[in-house]
Amino acid sequence: MRLRRFIPLVAAIGAAASMLLATPALAAGSHTAPATRSAKVNAELKAEIKAQLRYNPSGKVINARQVSYDHGHVVVTVVIPGDDTPAFTCLRGFVCLFERPNLKGNNAAINEPRDRDIRIAGYLPFVQSLHNLRSTGSILSNGVNRSVCYTSGQRANAISDPVMSYPYLFLQANDNC
């Protein structure tokens, strides 16, 4: 009689043990897709970093997503092509220029030199959005007679032609436009 009660208990324990032993195999299978995706993302980031260095070879790679120029006064952050989420927040003391609207796409964070024209094309081909977290104004200029000033804290989510193609950035040392 005792044996009859014992058999279902042993069967339940056996079923539970087999589920526990199968769980690592199931878990291993579920991690395969993210690991593959991660390898793909890493390959795309490496390709973007290489493209940035072809664009301006004077940079120094500082991590998987960033290239530093001018002793760290300019840091270009690359994103995976097609990534629509802003992956970067501009740091206080910098103006950040973005290749796409709404602070998306590859971007350059710049904090020096002040009161001199900085050639944007050395870092990005054009600017479609901007965030100025400097304490003074930042000016996009055509270098001749046209400019647009962005005051401290200003965010421009959609910069269009001709301003997006202006070749210079001028960081004001004392004025705020």
Are the C-beta atoms of 87 and 96 separated by less than 8 Å?
A: no
Are the C-beta atoms of 105 and 80 separated by less than 8 Å?
A: no
| DSSP secondary structure string for all residues of 34-80 | HHHHHHHHHHHHHHHHHHHHHH-TT-EEEETTEEEEGGGTEEEE---
Summarize pLDDT for 61-93 with one digit per residue, the tens. 999 999 999 999 999 999 887 776 665 678 999
Q: Look at residue 82 in the predicted model and tell me its pLDDT.
A: 73
Q: Would you put residue 143 in left (φ > 0), alpha (ψ -120 to 50) or beta?
A: left
Summarize pLDDT for 87-127 with one digit per residue, the tens. 567 899 999 999 999 999 999 999 999 999 999 999 999 99
